[in-house]
Structures are given as structure tokens and as C-alpha cells.
Copies of this chain bind each other. A is one copy, B any other.
Amino acid sequence: MSHGYVENKDELLKRLRRAEGQVRGIQRMVENDTYCIDILTQVSAVTKALEGVALALLDDHLTHCVAEATAQGGAVADEKIREASQAIARLVRS
């Protein structure tokens, strides 16, 4: 079964590779004794970028997986919505 994000896979991978590069960049800043505040600025930036990836994934999930399940109705739909709500809670609390 293909998932909601399949159409946006390349874009997601591009954003994740950029985030990976940002984390490596932060490592270099620490290795080079960069000033704490400048490092903190970059950590906030990569955290925000990853939140953006999560929100895009969630939007795809709601649009495809949850919509398809709710069209079927019943226990399948309930489970999909329960899962989505828990994922949203983890995202809000992280």
C-alpha cells in the first residue's frame, strides 16, 4: 500500500538531506569552538526545519491515509484517527 507522502518523496528527501547537512554543520561549529549563541541559532533552525518536514508528512497522511480510512468507516477509520492524534500530540510536546 502506498502512503500519502509518495507524491512528495523527492521533496521530503531533499529537506531531510538539508537537515542532515545542518546537523553536520553544527558539529563543525562545536569542533571549531564557535560561540554558543551562534550554535543555538542553528539548532533552532534545524529543529524548525524538521518540524516543517513533520507537518508536511502529517498533511499527506491526513489527506490520503486518514481520508481513505474514514471513507471506509468503522474500526479502520477509528484506528487511523487515533494514531494521527497521538502523532500530533508527540509533535506538539516535542
**Which DSSP category, helix, strand, loop or mixed, fits chain A's interface?**
helix
Q: Which residue of B lies closest to A90 (CB)?
A: B44
Determine if A62 and B85 form an interchain contact, defined as CB atoms under 8 angstroms apart.
Answer: yes
In Å, the complex CA distance between A93 and B83 comes to 21
Partner among B16, B65, B83, B93 whose Cβ is within 8 Å of the Cβ of A27: B16
Determine if A59 and B36 form an interchain contact, defined as CB atoms under 8 angstroms apart.
Answer: no
Given contacts A23-B16, A87-B41, A81 and B63 within 8 Å (CB-CB): yes
Determine if A88 and B55 form an interchain contact, defined as CB atoms under 8 angstroms apart.
Answer: yes
Chain B: minimal CB distance from A92 (Å):
5
Q: Which residues of B contact A78 (CB under 8 A)?
A: 63
Q: A19-B23, A43-B91 are in contact. List 4 more A-B contacts (CB 8 A).
A: A2-B33, A39-B57, A59-B85, A88-B88
